[in-house]
Each structure stands twice: as structure tokens, then as C-alpha cells.
Amino acid sequence: MLEDLLQPRHLLIILVVALFLFGPKKLPELGKGLAEGIRNFKGAFRSETPAEQPPAEKA
């Protein structure tokens, strides 16, 4: 079911609809904002992971 979802034809239709909704000037801005948000999310997730682990005790 998911393998049929991201075919090139479907992605093209999604891109055309987004172009009509947001316009050609706003679309690069939205892409940049989305990419920046994903980078921030990944960075926050990576920086919190080591801090959550308790320090190892020496025996």
C-alpha cells in the first residue's frame, strides 16, 4: 500500500497543488523553513540522548 503512495506521478501532483496554493515566491521559503525545522528537531534529539543516559558506575 505504501509503495504506491510515493510514485513520481503522485509527487508531481502534490508539487503542482502546493505551487497553486502557496505561489512560486512562497514555495522556496516554505521548503527552507521545513528543512530548518527538521534539522533543529534532529539536533535537539541527538543532544538530549546522551544527557538522558545515567553515568556508568565504577565497580
Distance CA 25, CA 19 (A): 9
Distance CA 27, CA 2 (A): 26
Treating both helix axes as pointing N-terminal to C-terminal, what angle do 27-52 and 8-22 enclose, rounded to 10 degrees? 110
Q: Residue 10 has which C-alpha cell? A: 503522485
- Asked if 27 and 19 touch (Cβ cutoff 8 Å), the reply is yes
Q: What angle do CA 42, 47, 53 make, to 5 degrees?
A: 125
For the stretch 10-31, pLDDT in tens is 888 988 998 899 888 888 898 8
Averaged confidence pLDDT in the chain: 79
pLDDT of residue 1 exceeding 70, the answer is: no
Residue 22 or residue 57, greater confidence: 22
pLDDT of residue 52 exceeding 60, the answer is: no
How high is the pLDDT of residue 17?
92
